[in-house]
Structure 1
Amino acid sequence: MTQSVKDDLQPPPLTRKIKLVEADDPTDKTIGIDDSERTAIMNLLDLGALDDVEFVYRLRRGGGRRIHLSGRLRASVVQTCVVTLDPVPATIDVPVEAEFWPPEKIAALQEQVDDPAQTGGMDWPEPIEGDAIDLGPLIYETLATSLDPYPKRPGALFDWAEGQLDERMPQNGPFAALRSLKNS
């Protein structure tokens, strides 16, 4: 039996279906996360803690059934220091802009692009799914890309000076012969 790629995909850790009629209301709206979503996101992103997640957004209609989102993601996270393995608290506070288009308009845009590398890092629009958009993946991706890829505790230094490890290396073993070549 053949298994499709879709069968291997994990469901997104966060789903928030928003009806398109919300774009007619110009007020700010807020999304938070529940404990099971928090746990799933913490596990996926290898976080020590994830608190105070708040996504404030506003939708605006554009031409051709397009929806524009302006928002801001805020969260408190704890990552692990890459040098000392100590906890490193951080605050995420980033603006978010996104476009949601009908799938047929996205397909037409993709046909116009001869070489995807020529798009200059363009953010592709997200698809409108029937009469709704899903903000969950946008929130998760924004959080994931806002994290420091190499968090370091303040004052933590990675100093690997040449020769520093030589005293601690065993004097016999498979690498002892290589060390003697290096020293000659």
Structure 2
Amino acid sequence: MSRAPEFSYRLEVQDLPSKGVRVKLEADEKERAALAKRLGLVSLDAFKAEAEVKPWRKSGVSVRGHFTAEVTQSCVVTLEPLQDSVSDSFEAYFLPESDLTPVNPQAEIHVDLDDAHDPDPLDDGGIDVGELVSEHLSLAINPYPRKGDAEFSPVVEDDGKTDGKREDNPFAVLGKLRRQDD
């Protein structure tokens, strides 16, 4: 069972004009809240995109676009909220599944990372531009947001047995065991 996209704008290939169409999208508050939850953000304060969708290779579609977003994430060190602006350009290509080269599970697979025209299958004769933009946002956000002055300081509990030196690290424990064997 597939989930419904939080931010959806579906286009059918058969309805696409021969010169293509320019799409402007902006997520509303409900869509931003649902996307923030899916992407593990504190909040998604703004999310806008523009895309040009054109016919490609007789039965396919090409999409070129750009998005901007204002996100709030938790700092990985302090867990404090951290705001960031995210923007990126993207390009994607789609063909009907019948036009894609079938994958032989026994064959060696060659992936050319420089080939921008590696198409994805159409979804029941169309594409969801909103979901496509959301996927690219998920790739563009910082996976480890960190405040500039944040420093990790491990908490060392004083058990009263030492004079501030931590001796329960693995090497200290191994050293004690080795001395016992001697």
Q: Secondary structure of the residue that 1:110 maps to in structure 2? A: coil
Larger radius of gyration between Structure 1 and Structure 2: 2
* 1:78 aligned partner: 72
**TM-score, normalization by structure 2:** 0.76
For residues 145 and 81 of structure 1, what CA distance do their matches in structure 2 show? 18
Candidates 103, 108, 112, aligned match of 1:115:
108
Cα distance, 1:170–1:133 mapped onto 2, change above 3 Å: same
For residues 169 and 24 of structure 1, what CA distance do their matches in structure 2 show? 73
**TM-score, normalization by structure 1:** 0.75
Any unmatched runs of 5+ in structure 2?
162-166, 177-182
Are 1:10 and 2:3 an aligned pair?
yes
Structure 1 segment 56-75 matched on structure 2, within 5 A: 56-75=50-69
CA-atom RMSD in angstroms: 3.0
Structure 1 segment 107-146 matched on structure 2, within 5 A: 108-111=101-104, 114-116=107-109, 118-121=110-113, 124-146=118-140
Candidates 140, 148, 157, aligned match of 2:151:
157
Candidates 143, 159, 163, aligned match of 1:170:
159
Structure 1 segment 44-59 matched on structure 2, within 5 A: 44-59=38-53
Q: Percent identity?
A: 21
Any unmatched runs of 5+ in structure 1?
1-5
Q: How many residues align?
A: 168
Higher relative helix content: 1
The code of the aligned residue for 1:119 comes to V
* 1:102 aligned partner: 96
Cα distance, 1:85–1:170 mapped onto 2, change above 3 Å: same
